[in-house]
């Protein structure tokens, strides 16, 4: 049993944006093709639900981040635009439809994520695994990246995803330890770091990845401390981007980090040993995701 399609109109609430915020307006032929396919297959994307500023660029390029397990989250993170509430029942046909869409689009790199599903015993890990297996079967040449929740620290659930064999496992830390409970009330900083570290114990060759969004009250020193914690957990790929407030109900923007500061943080990350750092005002977890792995392999 699936869930009804809901297209929400939400306006980003911002201060006046600085001049370096320029994005491609969505509407090109590939964007329209991908949007039509998502509606036909009754699928969701985090690109839409989280109001990603890069949706025009990424969809025109032919990439999208599939949102499995519905579009309602059981948590209420202070920065996130995804709807919170009681989720719908699992759609058992969804993994096959995601795989068919990956095949139809001819994707070389597919990103799969979900809302938190704390209502499920395994947090949705089995659905992740089935989706990975379906994509492997229908699009065997595609690189598969998963952006997972913390599964409440359940190592068995994490193992279920890892055993399915994604190429990249991403879990976003999002913010500094001092702000974590304010920003992610039901999350835990140490739990997220430990989850990322556990991936390397279970699958040493699997690429691990995490992301930080800045502008919610952290200092650059705290960003660097968080980066150091991620490296201690053997994370290889890092994304750094600017927080944009989804609505007046969400945490306010504390500051706009300049492109020069992002460049400095990138340099620091590379010096710490990250294999790839994607850092800039408009960067999100899946921005240029295919390049992160390509650079590692080169």
List pLDDT tens digits, range 85-136: 999 899 999 999 999 988 887 778 889 999 999 999 999 999 999 999 999 9
pLDDT band at 26 (very low <50, low <70, confident <90, very high): low
β-strand partners of 145: 111, 168
Q: How many domains does the chain have?
A: 1
Whether residue 18 lies inside any domain: the answer is no
Pairwise CA distance, residues 253 & 243, whole Å: 7
Range among 41-45, 60-64, 104-108 with highest mean pLDDT value: 104-108
CATH number of domain containing 86: 3.20.20.70
Whether residue 98 lies inside any domain: the answer is yes
Pairwise CA distance, residues 233 & 73, whole Å: 27
Q: Give the model's pLDDT for residue 66.
A: 87
Whether residue 23 lies inside any domain: the answer is no
Query: Model pTM?
Result: 0.84
Long-range contacts, stretch 287-294, CB < 8 angstroms, 24+ apart: 287/54, 287/58, 287/239, 287/241, 289/63, 289/109, 289/111, 289/145, 289/168, 290/63, 290/108, 290/109, 290/143, 292/168, 292/207, 292/209, 292/237, 293/109, 293/143, 293/145, 293/167, 293/168, 293/207
Q: Give the model's pLDDT for residue 182.
A: 95
Q: Do 125 and 160 form a contact (C-beta atoms < 8 A)?
A: yes
264 vs 70, residue with greater confidence: 264
207-214 and 237-242: which strand pairing? parallel
Whether residue 20 lies inside any domain: the answer is no
150 vs 33, residue with greater confidence: 150
Length reported for the chain: 298
Pairwise CA distance, residues 120 & 90, whole Å: 10
Whether residue 37 lies inside any domain: the answer is yes
Whether residue 6 lies inside any domain: the answer is no
Q: Which residues contact 72 (CB under 8 A, 6 or more apart)?
A: 3, 82, 83, 84, 85, 86, 87, 88, 115
Whether residue 13 lies inside any domain: the answer is no
What domain range is 105 assigned to?
A: 29-297
């Amino acid at each position: 049993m699936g869930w009804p399609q809901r297209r929400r109109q939400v306006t980003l609430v911002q201060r006046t944006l600085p001049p370096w915020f320029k994005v491609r307006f969505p509407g090109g032929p590939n964007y329209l093709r991908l949007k039509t396919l998502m509606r036909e297959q009754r699928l969701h994307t985090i690109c839409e639900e989280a109001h990603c500023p890069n949706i025009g660029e990424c969809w025109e390029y032919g990439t999208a981040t599939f949102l499995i397990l519905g579009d309602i989250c059981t948590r209420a993170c202070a920065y996130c635009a995804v709807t919170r509430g009681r989720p719908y029942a699992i759609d058992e046909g969804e993994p096959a439809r995601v795989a068919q869409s990956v095949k139809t689009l001819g994707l070389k790199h597919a990103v799969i994520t979900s809302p938190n599903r704390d209502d499920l015993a395994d947090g949705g890990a089995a659905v992740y695994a089935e989706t990975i297996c379906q994509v492997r079967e229908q699009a065997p040449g595609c690189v598969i990246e998963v952006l997972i929740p913390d599964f409440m620290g359940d190592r068995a659930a994490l193992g279920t995803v890892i055993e399915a064999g994604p190429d990249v496992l991403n879990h976003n830390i999002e913010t500094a330890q001092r702000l974590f409970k304010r920003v992610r009330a039901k999350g835990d900083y140490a739990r997220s770091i430990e989850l990322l570290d556990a991936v390397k114990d279970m699958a040493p060759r699997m690429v691990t990845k995490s992301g930080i969004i800045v502008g919610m009250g952290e200092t650059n020193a705290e960003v660097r401390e968080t980066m150091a914690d991620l490296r201690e957990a053997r994370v290889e790929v890092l994304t750094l981007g600017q927080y944009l407030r989804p609505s007046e109900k969400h945490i306010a923007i504390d500051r706009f980090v300049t492109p020069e500061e992002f460049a400095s943080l990138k340099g620091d990350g590379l010096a710490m040993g990250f294999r790839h750092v994607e850092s800039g005002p408009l960067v999100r977890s899946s921005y240029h995701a295919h390049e992160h792995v390509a650079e590692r392999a080169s």
